Amino acid sequence: MDRFGYRSEARQPIVLTIPGLNNSGKDHWQTIWEERRGDCERVDLGSWASPNRNAWVSRLDQAIRQADGPVVLAAHSLGCLAVAWWGALQSQAYGWPVTGALLVAPPDCDRMETPETIGAFGPTPRGQLPFPSIVVGSRDDPYIFFERCHSIAKNWGSEFVDAGHAGHVNATSGLGEWRFGQALLDRLLDGATDQAAALRQQRPSLLPRTGFQRGPRMIANP
Q: What is the pLDDT of residue 203?
A: 58
pTM: 0.86
Residue 199 has a pLDDT of 63
The pLDDT of residue 192 is 80
Long-range CB pairs of 174-177, under 8 A, 24+ apart, other chains included: 175/29, 176/29, 176/32, 177/29, 177/32, 177/33, 177/36
**pLDDT value at position 218?**
44
Residue 177: per-residue pLDDT: 97
Q: How far apart are CA 25 and CA 182, in angstroms?
A: 18
3-state secondary structure of 133: strand
Please give the pLDDT value at position 171.
97
CB 14 within 8 A of CB 70: yes
Position 196 scores a pLDDT of 65
Which of 69, 78, 15 has the alpha carbon at shortest distance from 42?
Answer: 15
- Using 50 as the pLDDT threshold, list the residues of the chain that sit under it: 1-10, 206-222
User: Peptide bond before 123: cis, by omega within 30 degrees of 0?
Assistant: yes
User: Which pLDDT belongs to residue 209?
Assistant: 41
What's the full length of the chain, in residues? 222
